[in-house]
Amino acid sequence: MKRAANLGEKIKSIRIEKGITARFVAKKVGISPSTLCKYEKNSRAIRAELLPAFADALGVDLKVFFEEIVGKTPIKQPA
């Protein structure tokens, strides 16, 4: 999978890679195709509560949306 710069690009990349239409994803998530387009172009912020529906529609685990974030910032252990 190509590296996406943001969440919207990641959703679009997965969708295209799997051959899933925007109309299908929008319907499964419960949004309009034009809203999905705005999400994919990063011109509108994706509501966090929609992420599980996106994961389901795309057939991926929810953690896929956060893979590039995990491990980049060290977590400080309590003393």
Q: Which domains does the chain have, with CATH numbers?
A: 7-59 (1.10.260.40)
Residue with the two structure tokens 């252990």:
77
Looking at per-residue confidence, does 17 or 1 come out higher? 17
pLDDT confidence of residue 66: 83
* Residue 62 pLDDT exceeds 80: yes
pLDDT number for residue 74: 47
CA dist list (Å): 14 to 26, 44, 76: 14, 18, 32
> pLDDT tens-digit profile of 12-61?
999 999 999 999 999 999 999 999 999 999 999 999 999 999 999 999 99
Among 58, 57, 55, 49, which residue's Cα sits nearest to residue 28? 57
Closest CA to 22 of 52, 48, 54: 54
